Amino acid sequence: MNTKKHIIIAIDGPSGTGKSTTAKIVAKDLGITYLDTGAMYRAITFAALEKGVAPTNKAGIDQLLQSTKIRFDNNNQIVINGINREKEIRGKQVSEAVSPYSAIPEVRSVLTQWQREIAGERSCILDGRDIGTVVFPNADFKFFLVTDLKVRAERRYQECLQKGIAMTLEEIEKNLAERDRIDSSRATAPLKKADDAIEIDTTQLSIEQQVKKIEDRVGVVA
Could you list the residues known to form a binding site, using ranges.
13-21
Distance CA 103, CA 98 (A): 9
DSSP code, position 6: S
Specify the 3-state DSSP secondary structure of 8: strand
Q: Residues annotated in the binding site for ATP, as ranges? A: 13-21
Q: How far is CA 163 from CA 80, 89, 128, 160, 170, in A?
A: 20, 12, 21, 5, 18
Contact predicate 214/221, CB 8 Å: no
Instruction: Tell me the C-alpha to C-alpha distance, in Å, between residue 148 and each of 51, 90, 95, 158.
Output: 36, 22, 19, 16
